[in-house]
């Protein structure tokens, strides 16, 4: 998870006043929450807070984990939420995240899986090699699916800036 914090810190250099902290205790309106990674930045003169959760699972992340992240966002006043997973996401988790504007990123090492129109229930999959990539991610957010790797993070920056 600390390596993911370092990756996020390097990605955020394009954002004004960007900071990142690992394993944070954050006070919400109904208690204290543990947050894997807390990122903040300034957009249009407003301080923005992003809660980032990381799941190293052997099976796809269920809807309940996205619901918990959304509840943490509401309680703490965070404007954005991102959930990173090594195993992808169940359909219900994707649908819930899209409705609540939570970004989902499936982390991969030397390749990425292009799950073609997963949101539309087309479950065909292609494996595409990435030359020289150390870390890849499939980024799902409302209205778009994109892929991130060092130097190619436009979809994630667009989500954070919106």
- Residues 42-98 have pLDDT tens digits of 888 889 999 999 998 989 999 999 999 999 999 999 999 999 888 889 999 999 988
Domain span including residue 142: 2-161
pLDDT > 80? residue 103: yes
The answer for residues whose C-beta is within 8 angstroms of residue 27's C-beta and 6 or more apart is: 33, 76
Domains identified in the chain, total number: 1
Band (pLDDT 50/70/90 cuts) for residue 110 is very low
Band (pLDDT 50/70/90 cuts) for residue 23 is very high
Report which of residues 47 and 133 the model is more confident about: 47
Whether the Cβ atoms of residue 11 and residue 20 lie closer than 8 Å to each other: no
The answer for residues whose C-beta is within 8 angstroms of residue 80's C-beta and 6 or more apart is: 48, 49, 50, 51, 73, 101, 103, 159, 160
Q: How far apart are CA 84 and CA 36, in angstroms?
A: 10
Give the CATH number of the domain where residue 58 resides.
3.40.1350.10
Q: How far apart are CA 133 and CA 111, in angstroms?
A: 8
């Amino acid at each position: 998870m600390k390596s993911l914090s370092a990756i996020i810190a390097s990605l955020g250099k394009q954002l004004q006043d960007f900071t990142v902290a690992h394993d944070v205790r954050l006070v919400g309106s109904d208690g204290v929450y543990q947050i894997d990674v807390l990122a903040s930045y300034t957009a249009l003169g407003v301080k923005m807070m992003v809660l980032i959760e990381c799941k190293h699972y052997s099976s796809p992340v269920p809807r309940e984990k996205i619901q918990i992240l959304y509840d943490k966002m509401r309680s703490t006043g965070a404007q954005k939420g991102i959930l990173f997973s090594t195993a992808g996401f169940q359909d219900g988790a994707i649908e819930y995240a899209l409705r609540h504007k939570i970004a989902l990123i499936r982390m991969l090492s030397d390749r990425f899986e292009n799950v073609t129109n997963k949101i539309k229930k087309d479950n065909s999959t292609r494996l595409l090699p990435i030359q020289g990539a150390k870390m890849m991610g499939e980024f799902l957010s409302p209205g778009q699916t994109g892929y991130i790797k060092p130097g190619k993070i436009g979809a994630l920056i667009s989500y954070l800036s919106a």
